[in-house]
């Protein structure tokens, strides 16, 4: 898709993968942070991780098993976080621990069988491992997320503002909420091979955390988050390939550095010291 | 106007409701008819089921037994239709200072349920939101972030959010809790006007000094039961609630 700009095939592949993965994740990150469901985000990313690890171990397609596990977790998580009488964080903590344990269990088994390469790519991702069809799938997912945000913009903004007030306004909260969980599940599963199970969570939270420092309204956040995440991801992919550094971890560190910088210069931290 | 000489806007028949997962019913066998243009104050001790009663009227809680009809619509069959028609100002809210929504955004959200899934906001929706802001005298705050306002201003924004809906029934849970005395009187007068226009107002409150000077229906809840249902004047409400019989 971007061959007309980037002549180097490997570089082009890496930039495309990182760019389209980051767009979908960044938009979802705005929803995740504004709905205060970061714990749901990390549980789902680790569910995809566990599913991917199990899939690779048993010889199933990794993507398919990651999608299935992530979706299954979303189905369990929805009722858990929406209806449980127990504190959401507690139930998600249990779920997250279970998923992480499963992922580590299968990775340890693979390592003991001498399949270290499979295990490492699951942990840290491999930006040039994707087939062209998988990059097209990322484009489709990113476009679908944008389309849904545009179509259901008013419902989503009301739900992210206050779930109970949205329900009182007559908005059907549950279908939008489950659609949102479904989008996270699919997006997380497709991004897993690029950035790896351990780092995926950075893409699902940090873009929104960065732009939150500068954007007063949610509309601005929806526009700025993919732009910022796209720039950081492209820079990470290019720098990683040029200097032979692991692209996923490098980009994750870049996200964190930009976040620290954003917090340092954020207008939201300004304190009025003048007495009029 | 009283609850008996016109058809009821809200009709509760022996309702029993509970919260999801609760072991016992929170509302036990309450029957109540509220007509158009009535002003109803729901009183009673903490934990008596006052907020639960309002949530039941909205259809937010599962109905174990009995029937609830609001403006001719029955819960739970027509729950969404009822929610689009009912304004409900909630009690507990705490917006973070950097919540990324302006006051106008919040007030406009009140109409989103009415607009429907695939439709866009019309000029009429925006006009209704602006009118609600003007009624609450917070139109000058329309572009401020909701979380940067004081508790009282946020409370007004939430009332405006519900008025923008142009509700057929207005329910309020402790609407005066964050308001200063002057603003209480303003809001009280506004609620009185809403009542005069035929919309029944049902209010849970412990602040009786700012009630409108008009006939007020006083409903007292205790231990999930309705123990008193009478009509009074604003000045007598506190005494009536204090002297209500104790539920068995």
Q: What ipTM does this complex have?
A: 0.87
Structure tokens belonging to residue A41? 């985000």
CATH number of the domain within which B132 lies: 3.40.50.300
Does B2 reside within a domain?
A: no
Q: Which of B86, B109, B121 sits opposite A161 (nearest CB)?
A: B109
Q: What residues of A are in contact with residue B121 (Cβ under 8 Å)?
A: 154
pLDDT at B3 over 50: no
The CA–CA distances, whole Å, from B53 to A65, B24, B35, B49 equal 47, 15, 17, 6
- For residues B39 and B201, the answer to whether their CB atoms sit within 8 Å is yes
Q: What residues of A are in contact with residue B99 (Cβ under 8 Å)?
A: 161
Residue A160: phi and psi, rounded to 5, are -70, -30
pLDDT at B28 over 50: yes
Chain A: give the shortest CA distance to residue B106, in Å: 8
H or E stretch at A196: none
Can you list the domains of chain A with their CATH numbers? 9-269 (1.10.3470.10)
* DSSP states of B83-106: HHHEEEE-S-----TT-S-BHHHH
**In chain B, how many domains are there?**
1
Does B228 reside within a domain?
A: yes
Mean pLDDT of all residues belonging to chain A: 86
pLDDT at B52 over 50: yes
Give ∠ CA B132-B134-B139 in degrees, rounded to 5. 105
Tokens 């340092």 locate to: A264
Q: What is the pLDDT of residue A28?
A: 94
Domain encompassing residue B154: 8-242
Instruction: Tell me which residues of chain A have a C-beta less than 8 Å from any C-beta of chain B.
Output: 34, 83, 85, 151-152, 154-155, 157-158, 161-162, 164-172, 212, 215-218, 220-221, 268
Quick one: pLDDT band at residue A132, thresholds 50, 70, 90? confident
Q: Which of B81, B98, B112 sits opposite A154 (nearest CB)?
A: B112
Better-predicted residue by pLDDT, A38 or A50: A50
Q: What residues of B are in contact with residue A268 (Cβ under 8 Å)?
A: 98
Instruction: Tell me which residues of chain B have a C-beta less than 8 Å from any C-beta of chain A.
Output: 20-21, 58, 60, 80-81, 83-84, 86, 88, 90, 93, 98-102, 105-106, 109-115, 117-118, 121, 145, 158, 161, 165
Q: What is the pLDDT of residues B115-148, one digit of tens each?
A: 888 888 899 999 999 999 999 989 999 999 999 9
The CA–CA distances, whole Å, from B3 to A30, A137, A159, B205, B222 equal 48, 61, 36, 20, 21
């Amino acid at each position: 898709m971007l061959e007309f700009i980037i002549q180097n095939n490997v570089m082009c592949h890496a930039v495309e993968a990182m760019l389209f993965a980051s767009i979908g994740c960044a938009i979802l990150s705005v929803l995740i942070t504004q709905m205060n469901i970061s714990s749901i985000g990390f549980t789902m990313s680790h569910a995809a991780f566990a599913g991917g690890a199990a899939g690779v171990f048993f010889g199933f397609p990794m993507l398919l098993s990651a999608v299935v596990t992530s979706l299954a977790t979303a189905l369990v998580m929805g009722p858990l976080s929406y209806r449980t009488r127990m504190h959401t964080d507690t139930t998600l903590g249990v779920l997250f621990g279970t998923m992480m344990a499963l992922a580590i269990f299968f990775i340890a088994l693979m390592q003991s069988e001498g399949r270290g390469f499979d295990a490492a790519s699951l942990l840290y991702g491999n930006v040039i491992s994707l087939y062209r069809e998988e990059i097209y799938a990322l484009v489709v997912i990113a476009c679908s997320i944008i389309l849904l945000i545009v179509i259901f913009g008013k419902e989503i903004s009301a739900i992210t503002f206050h779930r109970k007030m949205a329900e009182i306004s007559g908005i059907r909260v549950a279908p939008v909420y489950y659609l949102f969980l479904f989008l996270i599940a699919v997006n997380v599963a497709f991004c897993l091979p690029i950035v790896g199970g351990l780092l995926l969570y950075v893409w699902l939270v940090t873009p929104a955390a960065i732009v939150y420092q500068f954007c007063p309204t949610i509309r601005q956040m929806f526009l700025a988050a993919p732009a910022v995440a796209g720039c950081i991801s492209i820079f990470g992919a290019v720098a990683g390939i040029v200097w032979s550094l692991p692209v996923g971890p490098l980009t994750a560190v870049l996200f964190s550095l930009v976040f620290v910088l954003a917090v340092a210069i954020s207008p939201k931290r300004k304190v009025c010291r003048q007495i009029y | 106007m009283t609850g008996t000489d016109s058809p009821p806007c809200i009709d509760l028949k022996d309702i029993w409701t509970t919260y999801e997962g609760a072991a016992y019913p929170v509302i036990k066998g309450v029957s109540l008819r509220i007509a158009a243009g009535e002003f109803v104050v729901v009183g009673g001790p903490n934990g008596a089921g006052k907020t639960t009663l309002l949530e039941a009227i909205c259809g937010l809680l599962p109905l174990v037994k009995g029937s609830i009809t609001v403006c001719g619509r029955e819960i739970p069959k027509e729950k969404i239709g009822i929610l689009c028609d009912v304004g409900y100002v909630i009690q507990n809210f705490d917006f973070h200072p950097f919540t990324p929504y302006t006051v106008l955004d919040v007030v406009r959200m009140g109409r989103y349920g009415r607009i429907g899934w695939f439709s866009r906001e019309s000029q009429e929706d925006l006009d209704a939101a602006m009118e609600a802001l003007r009624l609450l005298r917070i139109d000058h705050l329309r572009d401020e972030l909701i979380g940067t306002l004081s508790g009282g201003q946020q409370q007004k924004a939430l009332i405006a959010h519900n008025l923008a809906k142009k509700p057929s029934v207005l329910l309020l849970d402790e609407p005066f809790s964050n308001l200063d005395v002057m603003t209480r009187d303003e809001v009280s007068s506004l609620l009185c006007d809403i009542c005069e226009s035929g919309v029944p107002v049902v209010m849970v409150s412990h602040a009786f000094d700012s009630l409108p000077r008009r006939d007020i229906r006083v409903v007292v809840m205790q231990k999930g039961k309705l123990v008193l249902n009478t009509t009074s004047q604003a000045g007598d409400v506190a005494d009536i609630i204090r002297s209500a019989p104790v539920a068995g």
